Amino acid sequence: MPGGHLRSSSAISPAADKTWETVQSKTFTKWVNARLAEHELAPLNNICTDFSDGTALIHLLEIIGDASLGRFNHNPRMRIQKVENVNLALDFIRSRNINLTNIGAEDIVDSNPKLILGMIWIIILRFTIEGINEEGLSAMEGLLLWCQRKTAPYKDVNVQNFHYSWQDGLALCALIHRHRPDLLDYHALDKRDYRGNTALAFDVAERYLGIPKLLDVEDLCDTNKPDERSVMTYVAQYFHAFSSLSKAETAGRRLGKFADVMQSVFDMQHDYEARVAKLIAAVRTKQDEWRRTEFEPVYSSARRLSDEFNGYKTGMKRTWTHEKIELDTLLGNIQTKRVTYNLAPFSPKAGLTPKDLEAGWSELAAAEVRHRKNINQYIRQSRDALQRRYGTEANGIQTVLNSISNSLALLGGELDDQLATVNGLIGKAKPLTAALRRLSELEKLCAEANIDEHDYTVYSVGDLEYDTEMTMKALEKKARFIENQSVVRNMTNLTPAQLEEFEATFRHFDRDSSNVLNDAEFRAALDSLGHSFSDDEFAALYDQLSCGSEYITFEVYIRFMVELTEDQTTPEQLLQSFRVIAAEKDYVTENDLKLSELSAPSIGYLLRAMPHSPHADNGFDYLAYLRGVFQR
């Protein structure tokens, strides 16, 4: 049984004694060189002789102990200097509560192979293997239990110890395949090719997992009993490699989810700015067309222009009105979503802000009035007072609609405050029904007076009824959206993708936009999400969730669906994820992101979004990026 004390070799034959000593010397030398290479220190040829002056031993302990041993003789020539160096190293080992029975500085200086190998084994055991903890077992038992659990699905592998169980190479291949099935095809292995399997595992582990070849193929396959300590030293590297890989995958998953959310928000923002730019350009083009119009003092010509203008109002203008309301709603949704994920508010580019859009819309309304007046001057034969009454009522309605639309576009802040504002706007819009009835009566009076057009307004009853209907629908949709976001905000156990899927499914089956689901709609939603129930099971479930009513609300629906695992996207999680991927550097490289197994689109987005680091030419400053993304 390996441990912290040297074992007697009296029962070992000279040939066997030489074999284990040779294998351990070779294995431990490679292990030491791997640690020295991490700090670009020169490799050793043989630890049994190259530790004699103490310098290499001190370097090794400073690396694995993450501490400085202080001043020492860097180029000792005298024996006393070498002894001082070795004593410094041994004192450091003992300071870590490591027992070095019967090992003195002179043994190391005199290159005693058995004692040196015993010392290195104790160091490996303390700094590499003892960190392995499986159910509170000892280091060796914990490592063995880990190997057994990971290879349990492979019927050809039976790990019982750290010598015979590893001679066919299958256990090593199974460990690699269990964690990285993309690196080798375990089921295609020739189970009788011990040397081939072992060589394959050595090569794959070194090339793709960064595990150095501490052993040679013959050390496992061509010996009656492989050296237990050498095998443990090598296998322990698999444990640490896959443990680090798991942490990187977790960090990559979190970053991937965050990148997906940010990409979604970016797409919404880009869509908003592109559509606003297109709408403003179209409005300006139409105004330029009106300015170039030449009016003739002929009724038929004026009538034709009037008909064209009416066609514009019922066609193009309504399309623009619908687009403007959609843009107002989109901007509100962007801001609400950014609040939901604790992101900084969105500020559109100059010239594309809600204020710019509203100014362009006001200019369009003014241009429409001017254009209509130019037309009406040739056909107006009616009473001015009636037109004024009609215009005052219509403009008053449109002013209310514009005020509501503007308030909706500028909506921001906490969700509760937003909902209160929207409910207030709904109350403000309710009197418009009576106002529209009054306007309709005025329109009949104008028709009776042969007044087909108006000088003081461009708004017809149809226009305002349409705008009012669209505005009321937008308010109702916004209220439901905020209410749903209030529910979603508290569901921190879900990923953004899950929340989006559940919410999109609810909206899809809520066909009448009532923000509730009846039993048929709820069952269809569950089926689409892969949750099927028998008739009796569903009836009992629906009765429980609906509390005897004929529907279930969005909140009841979403709370029912959150029996899945929560995973919150927070600045702290993301910062920790970046640090893991960057190996605690202040910057992250493209290669770091690739090693974390992020998707190519996620890597592309992060490389575009993060500023370059001042500390490395190929580095990106993730700290500055996170400070810019999240609300301060």
Answer yes or no: is pLDDT of 311 > 90.
yes
Contact at 8 Å (CB) between 395 and 456? Answer: yes
End-to-end CA distance of the chain: 57
In a 10 Å sphere around its CB, with 0-12 CB exposed, 13-18 middle and 19+ buried, how is residue 71 labelled?
Answer: exposed
Q: When comparing pLDDT for 272 and 485, which is higher?
A: 272
Contact at 8 Å (CB) between 545 and 533? Answer: no
Q: In this structure, is the dihedral angle defined by the CA atoms of residues 71, 72, 73 and 75, taken in order, positive or negative? A: negative
pLDDT band at 137 (very low <50, low <70, confident <90, very high): low
pLDDT band at 9 (very low <50, low <70, confident <90, very high): very low
Q: When comparing pLDDT for 193 and 100, which is higher?
A: 193
User: 3-class DSSP state for residue 548?
Assistant: coil
Q: When comparing pLDDT for 484 and 146, which is higher?
A: 146
Q: Read out DSSP for 36-76?
A: HHTTTPPPPS-HHHHTTTSHHHHHHHHHHHTS------SS-
Average pLDDT of span 285-314: 82
Span of 34-48, 224-238, 486-500, 616-630 with lowest mean pLDDT: 486-500
Share of the chain above pLDDT 90, in %: 28
In angstroms, the CA 487 to CA 499 distance is 10
Q: What is the pLDDT of residues 500-511, one digit of tens each?
A: 777 788 888 888
Average pLDDT of span 297-301: 60
* Closest listed residue to residue 331, CA positions, set 409, 222, 448: 409
Average pLDDT of span 155-184: 93
Average pLDDT of span 99-124: 84
Query: Domains of the chain, with CATH numbers?
Result: 14-129 (1.10.418.10), 139-226 (1.10.418.10), 293-489 (1.20.58.60), 496-561 (1.10.238.10)
Span of 156-160, 170-174, 390-394, 454-458 with lowest mean pLDDT: 454-458
Answer yes or no: is pLDDT of 269 > 50.
yes
Angle of CA points 130, 35, 598, to nearest 5°: 85
> In which element (H, E) is residue 620 found?
strand 619-620
The structure tokens listed for 25 are 């010397």
Q: What is the pLDDT of residues 172-211, one digit of tens each?
A: 999 999 999 999 999 999 999 999 999 999 999 999 998 8
Position 396: which residue type? G
Span of 71-85, 134-148, 151-165, 255-269 with lowest mean pLDDT: 134-148
Backbone angles phi, psi at 630, to 5 degrees: -95, 155
The structure tokens listed for 120 are 């290195």
The structure tokens listed for 164 are 């015979």
Q: Is the pTM of this model over 0.75?
A: no
Partner residues linked to 612 by β-bridges: 620
Which pLDDT does position 11 carry in this prediction? 36
CA 296, distance to chain mean position in Å, is: 64
Q: At what angle do helices 228-291 and 571-581 cross, to 10 degrees?
A: 120
Span of 78-92, 247-261, 505-519, 537-551 with lowest mean pLDDT: 247-261
Residue in the block written with tokens 């699905």 = 153
Which pLDDT does position 361 carry in this prediction? 93
Which pLDDT does position 348 carry in this prediction? 92
Contact at 8 Å (CB) between 257 and 496? Answer: yes
Which pLDDT does position 298 carry in this prediction? 56
Q: When comparing pLDDT for 336 and 13, which is higher?
A: 336
In angstroms, the CA 375 to CA 377 distance is 6
Share of the chain above pLDDT 70, in %: 88
User: 3-class DSSP state for residue 624?
Assistant: helix
> In which element (H, E) is residue 622 found?
helix 622-629
Contact at 8 Å (CB) between 90 and 100? Answer: yes
Average pLDDT of span 251-267: 81
Position 237: which residue type? Q
Q: What is the pLDDT of residues 412-425, one digit of tens each?
A: 788 778 778 888 88
Average pLDDT of span 349-378: 90
Answer yes or no: is pLDDT of 536 > 80.
yes
Which pLDDT does position 353 carry in this prediction? 92
Contact at 8 Å (CB) between 519 and 541? Answer: no
pLDDT band at 8 (very low <50, low <70, confident <90, very high): very low
Average predicted confidence (pLDDT) for the chain: 83
pLDDT band at 489 (very low <50, low <70, confident <90, very high): low
Q: When comparing pLDDT for 305 and 588, which is higher?
A: 588
Backbone angles phi, psi at 89, to 5 degrees: -65, -45
Contact at 8 Å (CB) between 554 and 487? Answer: yes
Q: What is the pLDDT of residues 584-604, one digit of tens each?
A: 899 999 999 998 888 888 899
The 3-state secondary structure of 375-409 reads HHCCCCCCCHHHHHHHHHHHHHHHHHHHHHHHHHH
In angstroms, the CA 569 to CA 258 distance is 7
pLDDT band at 2 (very low <50, low <70, confident <90, very high): very low
In angstroms, the CA 268 to CA 5 distance is 66
Which pLDDT does position 145 carry in this prediction? 92
Angle of CA points 68, 73, 78, to nearest 5°: 150
Which pLDDT does position 7 carry in this prediction? 34
Backbone angles phi, psi at 212, to 5 degrees: -65, 155
| Half-sphere exposure at residue 396, Cβ-oriented, CA atoms within 13 angstroms | 15
Write b or e for each residue in 344-366: b if 16 or more Cβ atoms lie within 10 A of its Cβ, otherwise e: eebebeeebbbebbbebbeebbe
In angstroms, the CA 321 to CA 459 distance is 12
Which pLDDT does position 512 carry in this prediction? 80
Answer yes or no: is pLDDT of 492 > 70.
no
> Which DSSP state fits 159?
-
Contact at 8 Å (CB) between 530 and 561? Answer: no
Length of the chain: 632
Q: Read out DSSP for 260-306?
A: HHHHHHHHHHHHHHHHHHHHHHHHHHHHHHHHTPPP-S-HHHHHHHH
Which pLDDT does position 13 carry in this prediction? 41
Average pLDDT of span 247-258: 73
In a 10 Å sphere around its CB, with 0-12 CB exposed, 13-18 middle and 19+ buried, how is residue 390 labelled?
Answer: buried
Which pLDDT does position 494 carry in this prediction? 60
Q: What is the pLDDT of residues 58-68, one digit of tens each?
A: 898 888 888 88
Contact at 8 Å (CB) between 196 and 170? Answer: no
Q: When comparing pLDDT for 377 and 327, which is higher?
A: 327
Span of 238-247, 346-355, 565-574 with lowest mean pLDDT: 565-574
Position 517: which residue type? L
In angstroms, the CA 474 to CA 321 distance is 12
> In which element (H, E) is residue 204 found?
helix 194-209
Helix and strand numbers, DSSP H then E, in the chain: 26, 4
Contact at 8 Å (CB) between 379 and 431? Answer: no
Which pLDDT does position 316 carry in this prediction? 94
